[in-house]
Amino acid sequence: MKIKTLEEGGDKSALTLLVGGVLAKIRNALGTGGFYQVETQNTVASVRGTIFVVRFKENKSSVLVLENKVLVSAMDPKTGKVLEDHGVVEVESGEKTEVKSDHLPSADYPLEAKLLTKEDLSEEFIQRNLDQEDLKEVEEIFEKL
């Protein structure tokens, strides 16, 4: 992981995930102009108060939203430009999206949010990094879906 932006007050944070995963718990909405984002080779996930997971492995980014919403933007890894036309989606509680570097979103295959599965939520990385209260909230969200 590489820190791109980190302000002392904590209102602005940007991380680059080179490989692996990060689970972010941003509980309080950030102030005006504030942001928290995790960027991989082919995705930017931006939030204002949520719990979400970003993983990057074998040129595939996965964003799983456990609470609230995350704006996910696919990027061309060669140019670093966001794919505005077909590569931006708002992912809500209980949803996920994936971006593969060798199969970027297009008019025929726009970036989409899909429902999380029980397998997603039972993943060791999530179970190990959420406390019991968070796990209970996530299970309640999943039961509502």
**C-alpha of 41 from chain center:** 13
**6-45: per-residue pLDDT in tens?**
776 667 788 899 998 888 877 655 555 567 889 999 998 8
Instruction: Work out the average pLDDT over 79-100.
Output: 93
pTM over 0.85: no
| pLDDT, position 124 | 82
Tokens coding 139: 């299970």
Q: What percent of the chain has pLDDT over 90?
A: 41
Distance of alpha carbon 99 from alpha carbon 94, whole angstroms: 18
Sign of the torsion angle spanned by Cα atoms 126, 129, 130, 132: positive
The tokens of 94 are what?
A: 């209980």
pLDDT more than 70, % of the chain: 88
pLDDT one-digit tens code per residue, 105-124: 999 999 999 998 888 877 88
**Cα–Cα distance for residue pair 33/51, rounded to 1 Å:** 20
Question: How far apart are the C-alpha atoms of 47 and 141, rounded to whole Å?
Answer: 19
